Structure 1
Amino acid sequence: MHDLDETLDGLTQRDWQRAASGTVRFALVGLGGWTRTRALPAIGDSTLCETAVVVSGSAEKAERVAEEAPEATTPTPLTYDAFRAGDAVDEYDAVYVATPNALHLPYVAAAADHGKAVLCEKPLEATLERAERLVAACEDAGVPLMCAYRMQTDPLTRAARTAIRDGSIGDPAHVRGHMTQPVLEHGGPDQWRLDPDLAGYGTSVTDLGIYPLNTTRFLLDADPTSVTATFRGSHPAFDDVPDERASFSVSFPDDVVAECAASQNLAKAGELRVIGSAGELVLSPAFYGGEDRELVLRRGTTSASLSARHIDQMCEEFDYFADRVLTGRAPEPDGDHALVDMRAIAAVYEAAEHGERVRL
């Protein structure tokens, strides 16, 4: 059996890190709850990053967040308009965009125009067409773009991928993954995730289903070939989006199938299970950062497990991106990688609407 303890020991040493020193100064664009409670503390605890600029649609909010930031030097507060105009452009090296989905494009394009490296939250944009324009803006400007798939820099996820590559479960055949949360408890019915003009095609698949989809791609090192999907729901808060509860099946090469579920109106939960010809791997809880998690490998009557405590996925993600910027290496979850997810997500909504398999 693969020695998972040895795998994790190696990965916790950051197998990806090449920069021995250096600092990447970030401008944080979009100061919602995720940025304030997860991104700012993660950067504060990071090795290679600092917050230099904070950007909001409200000057007052930007000033308040700057004053409360856990930085030795208070970040410069900017409005969105000031950021796009190029104010304080010499004070930061990279931009983290965490606005609602349909606002990613203008601020990524502005960052690219300023010649700054970009770390953009997922999904890359509200629609495939807008995501393609976003990637093109970075390519035309010659700036690196990384989509914020924090599961890909998470030590347990990386340990699972190594175990699969080393044959610990034989040939992967079936994946089951789900991510759910009661989103109405965190913002009510008027939030942007329930507004198709800001969220895009829907809410559960774009915001949550992307986690089992992309993590499966990362673990298998494979891209989807077709999808089927079914949506359900009756809560009036979800009248403007089609996917209060979503189930979708994703086919991969070599007859591998991933069965995924996502909902913005169920209890908070998440798990990923990969079943192979000789065993299975289970990551639980999965996808939500800030939790103690466990990776379990079962093969026959034998099992082994690894626990991850006090690992900040966001800190790992920011330092990974900074390491790539400092060393001049392209980040692996780049724009083209993210576009594969955008195509698959668009296909999931098409499949649910028409009740038929959509090939990619």
Structure 2
Amino acid sequence: MSFVDWFDDYEDRDWQTTTEGTVRYALVGLGWWTTEVAMPAIADSEFGETTVLVSSSTEKAEQVAEENDVSRGITNDDFKDGEASEHYDAVYVCTPNAYHLEYVEAAAELDKGIICEKPMEASVERAERMVEACEHGGVPLMIAYRMQTEPAVRRARELVESGFVGEPMTVYGHNSQPLLEMIPDPNQWRLTPDLTGYGTSVMDLGIYSINTARYLLDRDPVAVQSILATEHEDFEGLDDERAAFMLDFDGIEMVSTATQNGQTDSQLTITGTEGQVEIRPAFPGTCRLHVRRGDQSLDFDREEFGAVEEMREEFDYFADRLLTSTPIKPDGEHGLFDLKIVRAIHEAAKTDRSVAISE
């Protein structure tokens, strides 16, 4: 097979199974990601519509609803009591990690499909309760790993699956951002241990490398070693201002780094016996795919995809599955395993030894 032959027959939206229908969303948590990314993505989607907004503040819920021409704005308590439940079909949960469970449980009791932002909760135990609640309620739960519907990432997965890199040997992942420059508030929830869960850099940033590697390789890690460190005073109580860890994917070794206190940068590279795929930048919005095999290389000549487009694909994928009653991935069990990995990373750093990742 010639070098260019590897790039034939790529199909966008290979997951799509329907061309009609609308899923009405209630959005829980009206922070900047919801208002600036998720809402525009739903508005741009083929199968979605935002009909209800949910906030702890009545004033904020109603104000944001009015500004965005959304029919209803209600409080968190109203949502849990089932108010306006006839006006939406599914729920998108985008609150601080430690609050996910209560809204997922409420949505499950209301028999609504659920998209929950990653990481799915603040601890493995609470994530397990989320899975149980959705199984008991018989409702679908999707964890919002938008990278799995990112076209550049899906293209990379096809190349790995088809043997472009040969046998995968190593993976390198990195994700960093200057959190306190982006949000100059040392009391923000990502720096509050009770709200974020297992630290901050791995939970919020490293998880992108972890989950995208799982998706590209189609396998899960079995053990981890790690080093975590914190020096900045605003990261007090959190052990991973910066993090480095190595995951053993049962024969494929991954080295990854992450920090909430660094220059914005991200990448994910898979190197095999015959080639390499690199996504850089990878996670903070616009993906670029670069490939090499032997002495030939190519920058994948596609449009650049920003975060809104990734989210649009994510919401349309979820709606497609909901409208056709088709199983959804990544589901709650998938997200739960990521938290087990993150927990093991922190345990490995504390014990200074390799830690097995339990199913």
TM-score by length of 2: 0.96
Q: Distance in 2 between matches of 1:27 and 1:51?
A: 6
- Contact kept in structure 1, 2:229 and 2:243, CA below 8 Å: yes
- The equivalent of 2:79 in structure 1 is 83
Q: Distance in 2 between matches of 1:61 and 1:308?
A: 36
Q: What is the identity, as a one-letter code, of the residue corresponding to 2:327?
A: A
Structure 1 residues 241 and 299: CA distance shift in structure 2, 3 A: same
Query: For residues 125-147 of structure 1, what are the alpha-carbon distances to aligned partners after superposition, in whole Å with 9 as ceiling and x for unaligned?
Result: 00000000011000000000000
Give 1:97 deviation, angstroms: 0.2
- The equivalent of 2:291 in structure 1 is 297
Within-5 A mapping of 1:172-211: 172-187=168-183, 188-211=185-208
1:223 matched to 2:223? The reply is: no
Q: Distance in 1 between matches of 2:144 and 2:4?
A: 29
Within-5 A mapping of 1:251-262: 251-253=248-250, 255-262=251-258
Q: Distance in 2 between matches of 1:162 and 1:227?
A: 26
TM-score by length of 1: 0.95
Query: For residues 206-241 of structure 1, what are the alpha-carbon distances to aligned partners after superposition, in whole Å with 9 as ceiling and x for unaligned?
Result: 011000000000000001100111012210000111
Q: What is the identity, as a one-letter code, of the residue corresponding to 2:267?
A: E
Q: Quick one: which of 221, 238, 243 aligns to 1:241?
A: 238
Query: For residues 55-104 of structure 1, what are the alpha-carbon distances to aligned partners after superposition, in whole Å with 9 as ceiling and x for unaligned?
Result: 000111111111122x5xx2310100000000001000000000000000
Query: For residues 264-294 of structure 1, what are the alpha-carbon distances to aligned partners after superposition, in whole Å with 9 as ceiling and x for unaligned?
Result: 00011100100000011110100112x2x32
- Contact kept in structure 1, 2:175 and 2:257, CA below 8 Å: yes
Q: Distance in 2 between matches of 1:241 and 1:259?
A: 22
Flag structure 2 segments of 5+ consecutive residues without an equivalent. Answer: none
My pick for the range that moved more, 303-312 or 137-146, is: 303-312
Within-5 A mapping of 1:8-87: 8=10, 10-11=11-12, 14-69=13-68, 71=69, 74-87=70-83
Q: What is the identity, as a one-letter code, of the residue corresponding to 1:80?
A: N
- The equivalent of 1:6 in structure 2 is 8
Q: Distance in 1 between matches of 2:355 and 2:229?
A: 19
Between the aligned residues of both structures, percent identity stands at 50
Q: What is the identity, as a one-letter code, of the residue corresponding to 2:61?
A: A
- Contact kept in structure 2, 1:2 and 1:166, CA below 8 Å: no
Structure 1 residues 278 and 320: CA distance shift in structure 2, 3 A: same
Q: Quick one: which of 257, 271, 275 aligns to 1:275?
A: 271
- The equivalent of 2:104 in structure 1 is 108
1:308 matched to 2:307? The reply is: no
Flag structure 1 segments of 5+ consecutive residues without an equivalent. Answer: none
Structure 1 residues 4 and 59: CA distance shift in structure 2, 3 A: farther
- Contact kept in structure 2, 1:4 and 1:304, CA below 8 Å: no
Q: CA RMSD in A?
A: 1.1
1:153 matched to 2:154? The reply is: no
Give 1:359 deviation, angstroms: 0.4
- Contact kept in structure 2, 1:117 and 1:325, CA below 8 Å: yes
- Contact kept in structure 2, 1:281 and 1:298, CA below 8 Å: yes
Aligned residues: 351
Q: Distance in 2 between matches of 1:92 and 1:257?
A: 44
Q: Distance in 1 between matches of 2:62 and 2:160?
A: 47
My pick for the range that moved more, 59-68 or 303-312, is: 303-312
Structure 1 residues 99 and 234: CA distance shift in structure 2, 3 A: same
Q: Look up the SS of the partner of 1:115 in the other structure.
A: coil
Q: Distance in 1 between matches of 2:180 and 2:313?
A: 29
Q: Quick one: which of 279, 300, 314 aligns to 1:317?
A: 314
- Contact kept in structure 1, 2:230 and 2:238, CA below 8 Å: no
1:349 matched to 2:340? The reply is: no
Give 1:123 deviation, angstroms: 0.5
- Contact kept in structure 1, 2:16 and 2:317, CA below 8 Å: yes
My pick for the range that moved more, 309-318 or 226-235, is: 309-318
Q: What is the identity, as a one-letter code, of the residue corresponding to 1:144?
A: P
- The equivalent of 1:329 in structure 2 is 326
Q: Distance in 2 between matches of 1:148 and 1:198?
A: 18
Structure 1 residues 3 and 317: CA distance shift in structure 2, 3 A: farther
Q: Distance in 2 between matches of 1:232 and 1:197?
A: 19
Q: Distance in 2 between matches of 1:3 and 1:351?
A: 43
